[in-house]
Amino acid sequence: MNLLEVSNLRIWDSRSGNVIVPGSSFQVKEGSCLAIVGESGSGKSVTCRALMRLNKANIRHSGDIVWSGVNLAKLSDKEMRKIRGKHLCMIMQNGMRAFDPSCKIGVHLRETLVQHFGWNRGEIEAVMRRAMESVMLKDPIAIMNQYPHQLSGGMLQRIMIALAIALEPDIIIADEPTTALDTISQFEVMEQFMKLSTERGCTMIFVSHDLGVVRKIAGEVLVMKNGEIVERGPVQTIFAEARHEYTRYLTSSKLTLHRHFERIMGGVGVVKRSSGGEIV
């Protein structure tokens, strides 16, 4: 069953008249992970923000965004605020920008959960303690009493994942969630996304330019170029039997980088291909 259906989504800048996404359509099945890939500026992030109604005022969109039978494009701002967070939750690229720097982390968490559930302080702390511990954050209460600048990027990303676990949204949209992190933090955060997908069965839209990550987490892939969806299909097909030239360019670039890394490391590990041509 499709949990989200996007039809003829057109996004443009009302100031310049520049069309960013000329018209895209796609679906997200319940319990699945849909990856959106492409180079910077291909329209991935602006598409996700359109789903959440979080683009800047001058970035307009038209078309239908239907979640569970409700056309989000037709809702008022007040109605959309009730949906955002509780039903559709977005985890952004940079954790530092997701939190008010003048407030302690706990203030942000409490305001969000009170808005959607009306829980008291004790209930919120109990729920967040369990959620934060589940993403390997130690001493949750101490963390909630700190300011965003006192925490690492990886910790802030895991706090956002923990909040998503507490909210139990229908769909989690992760917009390049590891881009701003160091290699170790990227690995730790991706482990948590894998658990959300495999253990909790969360429905996700995962935006990334890292095809290695996409291959591990996604079931379906959309490839975007200059605002258009140029190819779509199961992740195995996209990697092994890509039809569009741009998709083949992306996957071959990934292979080239991998081989370069192996040369630098002295040949540790060998790149192989299956009989179907898939990189293994």
> Within 10 Å of residue 166's Cβ, how many Cβ atoms?
23
Cα dihedral sign, 228-232-238-241: negative
Residue count of the chain: 280
Report d(CA 62, CA 18) in Å as an integer: 14
User: Which residues pair with residue 233 across a beta bridge?
Assistant: 221
Predicted model pTM: 0.84
pLDDT, tens only, 114-162: 999 999 999 999 999 999 998 889 999 999 999 999 999 889 999 999 9
pLDDT, tens only, 184-193: 888 888 888 8
User: Any idea which fold 2-264 has?
Assistant: Rossmann fold (3.40.50)
Q: Kindly indicate the confidence band of residue 279, based on its pLDDT and cuts at 50, 70 and 90.
A: very low
What is the widest separation between alpha-carbon atoms in the chain?
Answer: 58
Structure-model confidence comparison of residues 26 and 269, the more confident one: 26
Confidence (pLDDT) at 255: 54
Q: Kindly indicate the confidence band of residue 96, based on its pLDDT and cuts at 50, 70 and 90.
A: confident
